[in-house]
Homo-oligomer: A and B are copies of this chain.
Amino acid sequence: MTVAEAGEAAVLEVLSGAAGDVGDDPVGNGDDAAVLGPADATVVTTDMLVEGTHFRLDLTNWRDLGRRAVAQNVSDVLAMGADCSRILVALAVPGHTEMDQIAHLAAGIHAEAARSGAVVVGGDLTSAGVVVVGVTAIGTLPRGAAPLRIDGARPGDRIGLTGLPGRSAAGLALLLAGHPGGDLAAAHRVPHTPIGSGTAARRAGASALTDVSDGLLRDLSGLTRASGVTADLDAAALPVDPGLRRAAVTLTDGDAGKGKVKGQKQSPGDDDDNAVPAAAVSTHDESDPIISARVMDWILDGGEDHGLLGTFPPGVEVPAEFTLIGTIREGAPGEVTVDGVARTPGGWDSARGAN
């Protein structure tokens, strides 16, 4: 059954979940607006995913799309030092969309919301030529807790990052080149921000926190610009997923082998994984400059990992999920150096696309 056949009410019921499942809020789904209970401070953010710009339905699936739409908004709430408690969804889909697809999208939305302990308290549906998933995420801060702003970094602070940067960008590159992409593609489809890492940073005494959506350098530059300071990154301290190097080899070999005859594979299973045979890897040693540059570009400029990037004053005990990657000093606001050399952020500008 399609969305057009089922009608708005049926779609919103699937999207919103059971009407009773709205936590302790005075009004949940099914009314003009949701009404949330008392809060000392409410954290709120909104973001949309647009088909063709942020995702292609041939490279992802409806469940992962739902998870990603929630995850990237939850990440913004975590980045204020809060935890997410409620999700609102505004969805636009073509009328011929199948209700099964909506059910998978809703399952992803609810699964990712549940991971944060959040409930879905509202939805909106409209028709459109492309799929657009708009999410509003809401969290609360306990009484007296100061939000972690983007402008609080001070000279002497250490810079910490959660997760492994560049995985989403590498996964996307593999997918676009026709590889299944494995774990990296999964990381692209659904970014992972550790729940609780924002509150952990706040309780530890972080001075600033933001989430990496547009690229490590670009978002760090935004943080240092807002704070009026310069950041120095230590390349050797950056956490590196070993899969990035394998992905770079796969893609570099693919570039080099574009003239080769295709279609010689006997078994379809040969295409099921992007693992590169040891022989292929061995043609590139650790210092191969093309491979290393590709990996470094992903780490520094790849977007959509949604790791949390924070600054921690001297003496503060940094939570275990943060890897220390550099320091803050006085200097040109917004400048970021890597091993002492200033580097202009690449990454993603939402108005321009890739820089």
Using CB atoms and an 8 Å cutoff, list the residues of chain A in contact with chain B: 3-8, 10-11, 26-27, 30-50, 52-54, 75-77, 79-80, 82, 86, 88-90, 92, 95, 121-122, 124-130, 132, 134, 136-139, 141, 146-147, 149-151, 209-211, 226, 349-353
6 new A-B contacts, CB < 8 A, other than A7-B349, A48-B90, A53-B92, are: A7-B351, A27-B147, A39-B39, A50-B132, A54-B126, A125-B350
A210-B32 contact in complex given A126-B50, A351-B8, C-beta closer than 8 Å: yes
- In the complex, the answer to whether B50 meets A41 with C-beta atoms within 8 Å is no
- In the complex, the answer to whether A50 meets B125 with C-beta atoms within 8 Å is no
- In the complex, the answer to whether A77 meets B30 with C-beta atoms within 8 Å is no
Q: Which residues of B contact A128 (CB under 8 A)?
A: 50, 52-53, 130, 132
Q: Which residue of B lies closest to A75 (CB)?
A: B32
Q: Which residues of B contact A33 (CB under 8 A)?
A: 43-45, 76-77, 79-80, 82, 137, 139
A42-B53 contact in complex given A4-B353, A48-B132, A350-B8, C-beta closer than 8 Å: no
A-B contact pairs, 19 of them (CB 8 A): A3-B351, A4-B351, A4-B352, A7-B349, A11-B351, A26-B147, A33-B44, A33-B80, A33-B137, A44-B88, A44-B122, A46-B89, A46-B124, A48-B92, A53-B127, A95-B353, A126-B350, A129-B130, A130-B130
- In the complex, the answer to whether A150 meets B92 with C-beta atoms within 8 Å is no
- In the complex, the answer to whether A46 meets B88 with C-beta atoms within 8 Å is yes
- In the complex, the answer to whether B35 meets A147 with C-beta atoms within 8 Å is yes
CA distance A31 to B39 in the complex (A): 20
CA distance A130 to B132 in the complex (A): 11
- For A27, A42, A146, A226, which residue has the most chain B Cβ atoms within 10 angstroms? A42
Q: Which residue of B lies closest to A127 (CB)?
A: B53
Q: Which residues of B contact A210 (CB under 8 A)?
A: 31-32
- In the complex, the answer to whether A226 meets B132 with C-beta atoms within 8 Å is no
A34-B27 contact in complex given A50-B92, A134-B48, C-beta closer than 8 Å: no
